[in-house]
Chain A
Amino acid sequence: MLASFIIVFREVLEAGLIVGIVLAATVGISRRAPYLWGGVFAGVAGACLVAACIGALSSAFAGNGQDLFNAAILCFAVIMLGWHSVWMARHGREMARQMQDMGASVTSGETTLLAMAAVIAVAILREGSEVVLFLYGIATAAHLTAFAIIAGSALGVAAGAAVSWGLYRGLLAIPLRRLFGVTGWLIALLAAGMAGQAAALLANDDIIPAFGYQLWDTSWLLSTGSLLGRAMQALVGYSDRPMGVQLAAYTATLATLVCLSKWAGRPRILSKQES
């Protein structure tokens, strides 16, 4: 039971941290619930689909199918997060002000909600397919301990979701005028981490050059094998043994998102909106 709890909890936590940030970053956008729930359901359905096709996916592209697929959906999520950053830079301040005045969600933003729903779907799909395959294995093996394992898995989902909800509520404790500044940085770090992971996946299969397979080793300090290490990997893209190309993709993405936000949120546009 404990083993299955740990496996499921870890995967749900990794996806849940991303979902928690997305929830906090979309606070104040009206009618967000159907979009975000849609993202959750699309992610779960996608996870089942990927799990069902994993054999074919693995052998596709000369055996690099899994890595190519993961890199592709990570890149897609990075673009969606970038989209949201630009949107937020344009609307964040006005949104925070309206929320302070009226205490309600007033700003509409269908396109950015779609983008954020896609990010949720990708996060759940990626980690969820591993959970689905794990549970499928138990279901087909059907040994005596199956009940304990399923109970452990259910607890794992609940605990992972609870941490995700806790992160969301914790972020909401940040004063409104600062909240979107904080979530902006979290989104940028999230995107940078995803870009870095995508680059590492491709470099590991020798599809792109690695520019150094191991720049440094901080596994003695925080190993990505540990729960905290994996959480940090999901949140800010921490890697204990980064590749050169991974660091380059990380830095470039972070710089791009920060510059995009600055550019999109420059005062000229704000004053035009206010007039």
Chain B
Amino acid sequence: MTHDLRRKMIAVAAFACLASSAAAAPPSVQLTLQDHKFTPDHVQVPAGARFKILVTNLDTTPDEFESPDLRVEKIVVPGQTITVFAGPLAPGTYAFYDDYHPETAHGVAEAK
């Protein structure tokens, strides 16, 4: 019985470890490109922390997710999802765009 209890305690401790490491993983925002437009085109990101941006391209041609403000630049082929890291940012707004279709595909990340 006590042996069983110890095992349960270990399991709980292991779960707690996993949970805390999951909490430590950087937060992420998801962007989708369709008809050469971002959805959403306004996202909130944490200020002062590293975070992830996932970009999915649902168009039929390649895109280049780019932002000098966020210091990211990565090509996304049709149907693909790419991940970029950014931050830590000072509070404020940071523009991003698809370099291949900048007239329609642009958006803002707001660091709070």
Q: A residues touching B (Cβ–Cβ < 8 Å)?
A: 3, 7, 54-55, 58-59, 63, 66-67, 130, 133-134, 136-138, 140-141, 200, 204-206, 213-214, 219, 223-225, 229, 240-241
Please indicate the chain A residues that have their CB under 8 angstroms from the CB of B75 in the complex.
54, 58, 66, 130, 133
Please indicate the chain A residues that have their CB under 8 angstroms from the CB of B111 in the complex.
none
- Check A219 against B74 for contact (C-beta < 8 Å): no
A206 to B74, CA, bound (A): 16
Please indicate the chain B residues that have their CB under 8 angstroms from the CB of A138 in the complex.
61
A71 to B92, CA, bound (A): 30
A130 to B63, CA, bound (A): 10
- Check A55 against B77 for contact (C-beta < 8 Å): yes
Number of A-B pairs whose CB atoms are under 8 Å?
64
A229 to B87, CA, bound (A): 21
A241 to B71, CA, bound (A): 8
Q: Separation in Å of the B68 CB from the closest CB of chain A?
A: 4
The size bracket of the interface on B is 20 to 34
Q: Separation in Å of the B98 CB from the closest CB of chain A?
A: 10
A269 to B49, CA, bound (A): 53
B83 contacts which of A54, A63, A137, A219 (Cβ < 8 Å)? A63
Please indicate the chain B residues that have their CB under 8 angstroms from the CB of A224 in the complex.
68
- Check A63 against B82 for contact (C-beta < 8 Å): yes
Other contacts beyond A204-B71, A240-B68: 10, CB < 8 A: A7-B99, A58-B74, A133-B62, A134-B64, A134-B100, A137-B62, A140-B61, A204-B84, A213-B50, A225-B68
- Check A205 against B60 for contact (C-beta < 8 Å): no
Q: For chain B residues 84-102, which have a beta carbon within 8 Å of chain A? A: 84-88, 99-100, 102
Q: Separation in Å of the A62 CB from the closest CB of chain B?
A: 9
Closest to B100 in A: A134
B103 within 8 A of A: yes
- Check A137 against B100 for contact (C-beta < 8 Å): yes
A213 to B50, CA, bound (A): 9
A133 to B83, CA, bound (A): 19
- The 23 sampled A-B contact pairs (Cβ below 8 Å) are A3-B103, A54-B62, A54-B77, A59-B80, A63-B83, A66-B74, A66-B75, A66-B82, A67-B74, A130-B75, A133-B62, A133-B75, A136-B61, A138-B61, A141-B60, A141-B61, A204-B72, A205-B85, A213-B50, A224-B68, A225-B69, A229-B68, A240-B68
